[in-house]
């Protein structure tokens, strides 16, 4: 049985193109909340270039929508270990691990300081609503060498520049 999504054999030239694109194009991280920013930190720690695409005007936009609500888990469970280490390298004083933050506190005391770090700030694109994810230059049907085309994340018109694009 064959599937439209089953991997197909890749030629040596297709593998080279895919490897080149993986080394030159950033990894699109969709969302500038706790998980998205932590993912960016982990990617950077592995030498992989991220670009964080946040649809709102600031990091943690979704978290701020319920900013008045106290979380059901303590700070210790809401701060990623790698993100904590990076923040502490820059002098961040963590909140009390046993306290229960509100959504607003999570955004203001964790996400904003993390997003402001020089390692993270230039990699964030605000007001960047991802409208689709597809392979560059091909449609949704099976195309020869489709797997070698770099993924693209088209953004709505309020974004200042494309987040991911194929190298020239």
Cβ-contact 115, 59 below 8 angstroms = yes
- Give the CA dihedral 126, 56, 165, 141, nearest 10 degrees: 180
Per-residue pLDDT for the chain (168 aa), expressed as one digit of tens each? Answer: 443 444 455 566 666 666 666 667 889 999 999 999 999 999 999 999 999 999 999 999 999 999 999 999 999 999 999 999 999 999 999 999 999 999 999 999 999 999 999 999 999 999 999 988 876 666 666 566 666 666 666 565 454 444 444 333
> What's the Cα-to-Cα distance from 87 to each of 9, 44, 65, 120, rounded to whole Å?
44, 14, 24, 11
CA 116 – CA 109 distance, rounded (Å): 11
Give pTM, 2 decimals: 0.75
């Amino acid at each position: 049985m064959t599937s439209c999504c089953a991997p197909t054999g890749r030629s040596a030239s297709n593998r080279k193109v895919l490897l080149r694109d993986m080394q030159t194009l950033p990894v699109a991280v969709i969302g500038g909340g706790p998980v998205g920013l932590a993912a960016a930190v982990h990617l950077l720690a592995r030498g992989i270039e991220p670009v964080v695409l946040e649809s709102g005007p600031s990091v943690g936009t979704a978290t701020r929508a319920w900013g008045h609500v106290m979380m059901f888990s303590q700070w210790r469970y809401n701060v990623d270990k790698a993100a904590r280490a990076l923040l502490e390298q820059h002098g961040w004083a963590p909140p009390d691990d046993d306290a229960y933050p509100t959504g607003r506190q999570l955004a203001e005391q964790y996400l904003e300081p993390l997003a402001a770090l020089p390692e993270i700030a230039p990699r964030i694109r605000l007001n960047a609503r991802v409208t689709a994810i597809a392979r560059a230059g091909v449609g949704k049907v099976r195309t020869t060498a489709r797997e070698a085309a770099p993924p693209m994340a088209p953004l709505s018109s309020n974004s200042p520049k494309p987040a991911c694009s194929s190298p020239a």
